[in-house]
Structure 1
Amino acid sequence: MTTDKTGAPTEVTAGADRFTISVDGQQAGFTEFVDHDGQRIFPHTVVDDDYSGRGLATILVREALEATRDAGLRIVPVCSMVAGYIEKNHEFDDIVDPVTTDVKRVLARR
């Protein structure tokens, strides 16, 4: 089990179009994704203000990217939190794709 910076237990859960993170059973944030053509596009990540500064975005994004790798998909970091994580943590560099016009079209159709 992963804990946040306060030592509280966290849980990341995969859904149909997002990963959510909970602290002590309370949902604290999420990162949305769209699967398209072998890619998992991450357009948006949110952590509630009540939980800011606890490292939850880092835990959430890391687990979402690990699940994406395990699913055999490539990562498209549209969201600034996901892009920032990848810039600092290079273990996913081999499966990152750039944000293209096609990716923007897919997101516009949502």
Structure 2
Amino acid sequence: MNEQTATTAPVVRRVDTRHRYEILVDGERAGLTAYRDRDGQRVFFHTEIDDAHAGQGLAAILVEQALTDVRISGKRIVPVCPYVAKYLTKHTEFADITDPVTPEVLTWLDAQLGR
């Protein structure tokens, strides 16, 4: 009888000190979505999934749980990240807490990131 190790469900955690949410698969980081907080907004600017985990739907799980956390925290979403913006076009349940990306937000974000 072959025993196979069952993979556990992905886990999403917020890592405030690194300004990101991480998705873990079997306890190892498989991807992240990065943000900076601005007043009552959480500005998402980058999402990535490691190549070894591509095509498994992890980005959608990660972003959905991150946006749900934003709602719970009472903040609003600003989707600078193209993946988060695309996700929001298909998931209108977050439209009520989504703010537009403006030149002011982009200038602020560049200053935050030292660009």
> Looking at CA atoms only, which structure, 1 or 2, has the larger radius of gyration?
2
Could you tell me which residue of structure 2 aligns to residue 108 of structure 1?
110
State, as a whole percentage, how many aligned pairs show the same letter. 48
Q: Deviations over 1:8-56 (max 9, x none)?
A: 4100010110000010111000000111011100000000011011000
Q: Size of the alignment, in residue pairs?
A: 104
1:21 corresponds to which of 20, 23, 28? 23
Pairs within 5 Å for 1:67-82: 67-82=69-84
Pairs within 5 Å for 1:26-105: 26-105=28-107
Measured on the aligned residues, the alpha-carbon RMSD in Å equals 1.0
TM-score, normalised with respect to structure 2: 0.87
**Which structure dedicates a bigger proportion of its chain to strand?**
1
Letter in 1 for 2:104: D
Q: Deviations over 1:38-85 (max 9, x none)?
A: 110000000001101100000000000000011111100011110111
TM-score, normalised with respect to structure 1: 0.91
Letter in 1 for 2:14: A
Structure 1: 5+ residue runs without aligned partners? 1-6
Structure 2: 5+ residue runs without aligned partners? 1-6
SS at match of 1:9: coil
**Which structure dedicates a bigger proportion of its chain to helix?**
2
